[in-house]
Amino acid sequence: MCLIGGILACTKKVENQIPDDAPMVFNLDILRTKADDDAWVKGDKIYVFVTDIGGKYVSMEYDGKDWNTTTSAEYVKKDFASRSEASLTAVYFPVPVDVSYEGREYRFTSGGEKVYTYYLMATGTAYDIDSTEVKATVEMGKTADFVGISIPGIQAEESDYTLSCPLIRPVACASVDVNGKITEESRQEGARIVGIPYGDGVLFSGALTKPGASQDYTFTFANDYYLYTFTRKGLTLEPGRIYSYQDLPQSDQETQELTNIYEHYVDLGLNVLWAKCNVGATEETEIGDYLSWGELNGYNSGKRDFSWNGYHLRSKYTEGNYSALQQEDDVAYAVHGGQCRVPSYADWEELLKNCNIERKDNGYLFTSKKTGFTDKSIFLPATSYRYNSSRVDALGDVGCYWSSTLYADGKDYAGYAHIAPQQQSIMIFLRCYGCAVRPVRPVTRFTPQLDEPFPGEEKTW
């Protein structure tokens, strides 16, 4: 009897054992609302990654009532055997993203580019296994130092609009590795942030450089036709919040200005329009700012070291497969938005070839030679340049202006326009040096009207 009972017990145990290839299902309970306590809405999607299991992930999409779960590939019982850590990492993006897996990392992109916007996440979330079911309660949290600025009432394509602020840095959730670690990538302070849909308008988000501190904020909102600048003095922004720009505190000292972007540029009959003023200047005779190549914050923002020690982009462009400045590091784009940029080698070459250059006051007057444009000109101050500990030579005599083009035979160097009494040519400088920047933009020979500043928008500023 004992022998027969033992055999029966063994047989029963084998029959109840779950096969290694048995499919697993996920029962995940999502808690908490989105950023700024917004409710989840239909179409919201959360990506869930199981620690130590690479190459597949869980997608959870909200249908307006429930969360529907799918997997990129089937999970089986064997996947969860002998896990060193039974935990999950979850990420939510406010825009659609593509997920790829490479080098033991899940990477997130949209249109082939990293997604620079706020995101919600949960890391180290414990799960339990009940037969073939994975159970967990996931509480999505806000990322540190993120803030959002919403501008309501915009009905056009959100990606047409960008916002920049020197005290907000664009940040992307770039990847999650198989250990559940989230890696962020950030751009420079003041780099342009692309808008995403939010309510009846557009939301811009990034990381505060000085969260919770009282600061003077300048916001520059732009599309390809208009530039809207507004300032807020002594403003304190708290991380984890979304602010409507209309609700930001105001005082008599603050300003707001809406201008047609074309008011800032001159048509010389060339392949690009040239800005009237240098970056950092409000008058054509002002020097403006001195900037190391590719940096968005220069002398006017407190930079004083124009040597390699004070330069932050050396390895990016020396080691990267680049031949020219990238848009995220283009100070002209950061300041004016739209299609504005730092001029290329070819742009400077065209300007020097097609203009009469006259020494005037503390700079040089460039007057177009092109038929129909001989009454058009721009003035370039003789800025000189800064190097090492901010030293400057030949001020008022020589103008030094960056191009966007790297020097092919040595990427520590970039091209610049050298404008002197006896010589106007394109030469090379170490990228850490500080030169002026004169923006350009594509030619569009029409003038949009200011009475309808944003296409499709019913209200005006």
Print pLDDT tens along the chain (461 aa): 444 444 444 444 444 588 999 999 999 999 877 766 678 989 999 999 999 999 999 999 999 999 999 999 999 999 998 766 789 999 999 999 999 999 999 999 998 999 999 999 999 999 999 999 999 999 999 888 999 999 888 765 656 789 999 999 999 999 999 999 999 999 999 999 998 888 888 899 999 999 989 999 999 988 888 888 888 888 899 898 899 887 887 766 778 888 888 889 999 999 999 999 999 999 999 999 999 999 999 999 999 999 999 999 999 999 989 999 999 999 999 999 989 999 999 999 999 999 999 999 999 999 999 999 999 999 999 999 999 877 787 788 999 999 999 999 999 999 999 999 999 999 999 999 999 999 999 997 655 554 444 443 333 33
Contacts of the segment 181-184: beta carbons below 8 A, 24+ positions apart: 181/89, 181/123, 182/89, 182/91, 182/121, 182/123, 183/105, 184/143
Tally Cβ neighbours within 10 Å of residue 51: 22
In the 8-state DSSP scheme, what is residue 18?
A: P
Torsion of Cα atoms, 166 then 168 then 169 then 171, to 10°: -160
DSSP string covering 226-237: EEEEEEEEEEE-
Element (H, E) at 5: helix 2-16
Backbone dihedral region of 124: left (phi > 0), alpha (psi from -120 to 50 degrees) or beta? Answer: left
Residue 130: how many other CB atoms lie within 10 Å: 8
The C-alpha angle 276, 188, 222, rounded to 5 degrees, equals 45
User: What's the CA gap between 461 and 449, in Å, rounded?
Assistant: 13
Alpha-carbon torsion (69, 71, 74, 78), positive or negative: negative
Instruction: Please tell me the distance from the alpha carbon of residue 38 to that of residue 290, in angstroms, as a whole number.
Output: 43
Residue 110 DSSP label: B
What is the predicted pLDDT for the residue at 226? 85
Domain assignments of the chain as residue spans, ordered by start: 25-260, 268-442
Burial of 461 (0-12, 13-18, 19+ CB in 10 A): middle
> If 0-12 CB within 10 Å is exposed, 13-18 middle and 19+ buried, where does residue 257 land?
exposed
Order of strands, sheet of 128-130, starting from the edge strand that comes earlier in the sequence: 25-31, 133-139, 128-130
Cα–Cα distances in angstroms (integers) from residue 246 to residues 117, 226, 436, in the given order = 21, 19, 34
- Count how many residues are written for the chain: 461
What's the whole-model pTM score?
0.85
pLDDT at 159: 62
